[in-house]
Structure 1
Amino acid sequence: MGGACSRKRGDLIDEGGDPRRSANGKYSKSGSSKWLLLSLPRSASDIIQRGQGRCPSLMELCVARICEDISKYSSFSVLPKDISQQIFNELVESNRLTVTSLDSFRDCALEDVHLCEYPGVKDNWMDVICSQGQSLLSLDISCSDVTDSGLVLLKGCTNLQSLTFNYCDQISVHGLENISGLSKLTSLSFKKSTAINAEGMKAFTNLVNLVNLDLERCLGIHGGLLYLKGLKKLETLNLRYCNCITDTDMKPLSALTNLKELQMSCCKVTDAGLSHLKGLSKLVLLNLEGCPLTGACLEFISGFVSLLYLNLSRCRLSDDGCEKFVGLGKLKILNLGFNNITDACLVHLKDLINLESLNLDSCQIRDEGLCNLKGLWRLKSLELSDTEIGSNGLRHLSGLCNLESINLSFTSISDSGLRKLSGLTSLRSLNLDNRQLTDAGLPALTTLTGLTHLDLFGARITDLGTNCFRYFKNLRSLEVCGGSITDAGVRNIKDLTSLRTLNLSQNCNLTDKTLETISGLTSLVSLNVSNSRVTNGGLQHLKQLKNLRSLTLESCKVTATEIKKLQLAALPNLEMCCVKHLLKP
């Protein structure tokens, strides 16, 4: 199959956040999100549209008008600080704030300055930002070019409670000294900072009121965690992707007895290092994805009786030691994906009756192992992709009436097995990426009228099978990639008006008629019709899709020139257009 349809499996996924979720948004200094900052400024009419028909307040209209005429004002310091704050926020959100207009907010007693990924933020901005003095409570200058010189000015902002300096690569170890006196800080984030090393972490010693500390991707902190042992109020600590951390770094953390969330994905901590944490009885979330741990680590983890979220994905677990799961009766979310566990491990999970999410991706689970899950009636999400289950095993899941999401990709499920899913009427997301499935299996799914996401990626679906799609009126995402659908089959999709994502790639008989048929799906945000017979002539039918942000037309008979014309003339929100192997103009 072509690049538009390829899927990589077994790669370690950067979730970019909470391990409770499979996906989350990422951002980096060079990320694609900066396109948002280049859009045209909004007018007062945009304020009305943003309210989705709600009549804007007089204050909103006044703020919008001031922002339109921002060059007329030299200072807002005489205004009440809450009004100045609204004007500032609107300028940031509408991308009108410049170093010149920023000066109007000098000494305005702003409480929150959030400039994450805002272009042009440098040391000369910090003079005005820090003029807010003791009023300033929260500052985010992530991805800025602020240096040590800019941080010097923070010393006067003694009431700061939250600081975020993610991806600020111009700050050095010496610059960190300027935050050591900000003793009222409760939240501090320094993702991917070269300044955070063992020496630099001395600056954290006096931040005794810290509750949240984020040091994700700080690769030089080995030996520096000892400076955290006095931070007794710390509740959340993020050390994800700090692959310099080893067992010797764990002992200082044993003093953090109020810790509730600890994230250490891809650290080099082993079973021995984890033993130092056994006193952290308040832990609610523990993320150890990718750490070189074995089943022996459960000897210590089983003592965390308050645990609700546990991620042991991509560790070195086997069935040995899994009997210790029995002590974790409060668990709601458990991720065991990509481990060498079998049905023997599942025997010890059957009493975890509070589980709401279970991930067994790529484990050696067979049909009979699923019988241990049939009593987990609170389950809402079940990940069984790349396991060894077949159609027979699905009978054990028929009683999981609260199940909302199930992934059965890359399994041996056949058309007959889909009938065993027909009673799971709470399902909202169903992933069936499987070459064994055909049109014959789809009628069994027509009872699942609440589906919002259906992935039939790789299934052998023809026009006949698409007749079943009319039952899924609530679908927001549909993938039917690699089937044998023609323009005629697409007519069964045209009434799914809630669709936001549609992937029809690798259906090589689709033509411009398909684009005409789906032109009424105005809620579409993402469309993929790669490896089809779509031409430049069909692009005109996309003009009605004003919400389209992603368009993929790989290996189609279209030219870059026509795509650009379409974007400029009719699709102002289009941010990503993938058109490899274009037809030459």
Structure 2
Amino acid sequence: MGGACSRKRDPLANEDTSNRVGPSGRYTKSSSSKWLGTSFSRAYMDAMQGKRNRPSLINLCIYKIREDINKYSTFSMLPRDISQQIFDDLVYSHCLTDSVLEAFRDCALQDLNLGEYPGFDDSWMDIVSSQGSSLLSVDLSGSEVTDSGLIYLKECKNIQSLNFNYCDLISDKGLEQISGLSNLNTLSFKRNNAITAQGLSFLSGLISLIKLDLERCPKIQGGLVHLKGLEKLESLNLNCCNCITDADMKALSGLTNLKSLQIASSKVTDNGVTFLRGLSKLALLNMEGCPVTAACLESLSALDALLYLNLSRCNLTDDKCEKFSKLLSLKVLNLGFNEISSAILVHLKGLTKLESLNLDSCKINDEGMVHLAGLSCLKYLELSDTEVGSSGLRHLSGLLNLESLNLSFTIVTDGGLKKLSGLSSLKSLNLDARQITDAGLAALTNLTGLMHLDLFGARITDSGTNCLRSFKKLLSLEICGGGLTDEGVKNIKDLTSLTLLNLSQNNHLTDKSLELISGLTQLVSLNVSNSRVTNNGLQHLKSLKNLKSLTLESCKLNADDMKKFQSTHLPNLVSFRPE
């Protein structure tokens, strides 16, 4: 469905991606847009380009110091907040080297956010250690630090947060080195193949630990028993640890302060879920892909504080799903990719506090939609790849708090979209479906608050783009059905709030389209792949100084010209294709 160029979105993010991407850009662990950040140097660049917001004097000073960085042998005489800002700016701008790092010895820095910084290894750990008792937070994710390097952290007794995600050279011995950091409250070791159950025994003394992330650590089976004494633990991420079993859940049963537990893609069954009944403070439970059935709902109904529940990709069928009616406190429910049908929806009628419901790829049709009509608190509704059609949409007309609706890969037609015209709170709408045409878009012009509109596979033509003039607040727009020419882009050029624009697959677009959108100076991401754009058209993009992602694959231009244009005119561009 949706044509060869359509694509499905991830049904629900299972993991925190906020600390995945560092400054290096050497590799990307996630498609998250959180890499679209700012820096102190950016404030200076804005000033040079005549931006309204002028940088402060301190930012200008920091920029000057960075330019003359090799003239300084030490920053230890500066106030800590100044040296901290200088350090952060050097990290962001990739200007931190061995010799420059030495200037920060004994500066009493509090935060060293060096995630994925190229070249970071044990030789830099001596400078890290020199910050002493002032050091509170260290991010070394994706680095080459080994067990030996962690010895240096013993001198930093006040550390509260450590991030060693994707550090392949750290093993159980490394955990032993940090076992004495009793003030540690956040610890993360995502994607580690060397840590075992024995290694977790060294965490038993970290009595201040509040958040622990062991996602994709495949050798920790049986080690959770060592966490029994961590009575302050509130968040535990064990996603994609396929070694975790029911016995491990028994070991967690005494952690009564747990508020968030993620065990997606583990081997936990209905029996294991019974051990969670005593976790009365549990608010988030992610069991996506676990081999549980609807029978586990009996145990889950005892969790009175439960607000977020993810049962996507489990073995749920309609059998025993009446137990959903007992989960009265739920705000977020994800049932995507299960063998449940419209019959289950009758058991959701009592979840009047529900704000988010994901039914992606379930066997839901128009018949069951009537049971959603009373969920007046719903803000987010995911119906992608279901059998919902135009008739079922009439039951959504009263959901006046609805902010996000995904109807991609459904059988909704243009006529059904008229039933959404009264949803004035709607901010995000996904209509990635080939049967949606210009007529359907015309039925939505009352939704003037829309900020995100996805028409990826819809058959929108130049005529239909006239309707886009109603959506002045749009931040993101995707029209990739192949029906646009330069004439249609004329109706997009005045959407000045756009930060993301995807016009790929429209093979009639030419350099003229790039000229038309050259005034969209807020654009951060632009995709005009599979068009007739040439090297000459790149010149029209010089004004897009905010652009960080540019994709022009299968166009009439080459990688060398792209690289030259990027380095000369768009220095803030992080990702570009071809490259």
Structure 1 length-normalised TM: 0.91
Q: Does 1:153 align with 2:152?
A: yes
- Look up the match of 1:502: 501
Q: Given the superposition, is the C-alpha separation of residues 476 and 147 from structure 1 closer, same or farther in structure 2, using an over 3 Å criterion?
A: same
Correspondence for 1:31 among 12, 27, 30: 27
Alignment of 1:211-226 (within 5 A): 211-226=210-225
Distance 2:52 2:265 in 1: 47
Structure 1 position 333, deviation (Å):
0.9
Letter in structure 2 aligned against 1:266: S
Q: Given the superposition, is the C-alpha separation of residues 405 and 154 from structure 1 closer, same or farther in structure 2, using an over 3 Å criterion?
A: same
Distance 1:42 1:274 in 2: 50
| Alpha-carbon contact 1:478-1:501 (below 8 Å) kept | yes
| Alpha-carbon contact 1:250-1:273 (below 8 Å) kept | yes
Q: Does 1:323 align with 2:322?
A: yes
Q: Given the superposition, is the C-alpha separation of residues 347 and 49 from structure 1 closer, same or farther in structure 2, using an over 3 Å criterion?
A: farther
Distance 1:80 1:573 in 2: 30
Secondary structure of 2:345 counterpart? helix
| Alpha-carbon contact 1:311-1:336 (below 8 Å) kept | yes
- Look up the match of 1:312: 311
Alignment of 1:79-478 (within 5 A): 79-478=78-477
Q: Given the superposition, is the C-alpha separation of residues 366 and 3 from structure 1 closer, same or farther in structure 2, using an over 3 Å criterion?
A: closer
Distance 1:439 1:387 in 2: 23
Structure 1 position 30, deviation (Å):
5.2
Structure 1 position 369, deviation (Å):
0.9
Structure 1 position 507, deviation (Å):
2.3
Structure 1 position 59, deviation (Å):
4.0
- Look up the match of 2:5: 5
Distance 1:158 1:516 in 2: 57
Distance 1:66 1:44 in 2: 15
Letter in structure 1 aligned against 2:361: S
Structure 1 position 505, deviation (Å):
2.2
Distance 2:89 2:110 in 1: 15
Deviation by residue 1:127-150 (Cα, 9 ceiling, x = unmatched): 121122222222221111111221
Deviation by residue 1:61-104 (Cα, 9 ceiling, x = unmatched): 44444343333333333344344333333333333322222222
Q: Given the superposition, is the C-alpha separation of residues 491 and 75 from structure 1 closer, same or farther in structure 2, using an over 3 Å criterion?
A: closer
Q: Given the superposition, is the C-alpha separation of residues 562 and 40 from structure 1 closer, same or farther in structure 2, using an over 3 Å criterion?
A: farther
Deviation by residue 1:182-218 (Cα, 9 ceiling, x = unmatched): 1221111111123321111111111111111111111
Q: Given the superposition, is the C-alpha separation of residues 63 and 140 from structure 1 closer, same or farther in structure 2, using an over 3 Å criterion?
A: same
Secondary structure of 1:177 counterpart? helix
Structure 1 position 249, deviation (Å):
1.4
Secondary structure of 1:192 counterpart? coil
Deviation by residue 1:476-533 (Cα, 9 ceiling, x = unmatched): 1111112422222221111111122222222232222222222222222222223333
Letter in structure 1 aligned against 2:124: W
Structure 1 position 232, deviation (Å):
0.9
Distance 2:561 2:157 in 1: 56
Secondary structure of 2:173 counterpart? helix
Q: Given the superposition, is the C-alpha separation of residues 144 and 464 from structure 1 closer, same or farther in structure 2, using an over 3 Å criterion?
A: same
| Alpha-carbon contact 1:16-1:25 (below 8 Å) kept | no
Which stretch of the first structure deviates more once superposed, 45-54 or 473-482? 45-54
Note the residue ranges of structure 1 that are not aligned, 5 or more in a row. Answer: 19-23, 581-585
Letter in structure 2 aligned against 1:31: Y
Secondary structure of 1:445 counterpart? coil
- Look up the match of 1:563: 562
| Alpha-carbon contact 2:2-2:433 (below 8 Å) kept | no
Letter in structure 2 aligned against 1:141: L
Structure 1 position 542, deviation (Å):
2.6
- Look up the match of 1:583: none
Letter in structure 1 aligned against 2:546: N
Distance 1:341 1:315 in 2: 10
Distance 1:2 1:543 in 2: 34
Letter in structure 1 aligned against 2:111: D
Q: Given the superposition, is the C-alpha separation of residues 124 and 566 from structure 1 closer, same or farther in structure 2, using an over 3 Å criterion?
A: closer
Distance 1:128 1:26 in 2: 23
Q: How many residue pairs get matched?
A: 572
Q: Given the superposition, is the C-alpha separation of residues 75 and 522 from structure 1 closer, same or farther in structure 2, using an over 3 Å criterion?
A: closer
Structure 2 length-normalised TM: 0.92
Distance 2:541 2:344 in 1: 51
| Alpha-carbon contact 2:161-2:187 (below 8 Å) kept | yes
Note the residue ranges of structure 2 that are not aligned, 5 or more in a row. Answer: none
Distance 2:325 2:39 in 1: 57
Structure 1 position 27, deviation (Å):
4.0
Distance 2:247 2:211 in 1: 22
| Alpha-carbon contact 2:2-2:458 (below 8 Å) kept | no
Deviation by residue 1:20-65 (Cα, 9 ceiling, x = unmatched): xxxx78549952489x99x999498348579964454444444444
Letter in structure 1 aligned against 2:7: R
Secondary structure of 1:324 counterpart? helix
| Alpha-carbon contact 1:5-1:505 (below 8 Å) kept | no
Which stretch of the first structure deviates more once superposed, 421-430 or 569-578? 569-578
Q: Given the superposition, is the C-alpha separation of residues 465 and 25 from structure 1 closer, same or farther in structure 2, using an over 3 Å criterion?
A: farther
Secondary structure of 1:296 counterpart? helix
Distance 2:243 2:11 in 1: 18
Distance 1:266 1:565 in 2: 44
Report the RMSD for the aligned CA atoms in angstroms.
2.8
| Alpha-carbon contact 1:506-1:531 (below 8 Å) kept | yes
Name the % identity.
64
Q: Does 1:73 align with 2:69?
A: no
Letter in structure 1 aligned against 2:350: D
Distance 1:56 1:570 in 2: 22
Q: Given the superposition, is the C-alpha separation of residues 334 and 25 from structure 1 closer, same or farther in structure 2, using an over 3 Å criterion?
A: farther
Which stretch of the first structure deviates more once superposed, 136-145 or 63-72? 63-72
Q: Given the superposition, is the C-alpha separation of residues 224 and 434 from structure 1 closer, same or farther in structure 2, using an over 3 Å criterion?
A: same
| Alpha-carbon contact 2:2-2:434 (below 8 Å) kept | no
Q: Given the superposition, is the C-alpha separation of residues 470 and 16 from structure 1 closer, same or farther in structure 2, using an over 3 Å criterion?
A: same
Which stretch of the first structure deviates more once superposed, 378-387 or 541-550? 541-550
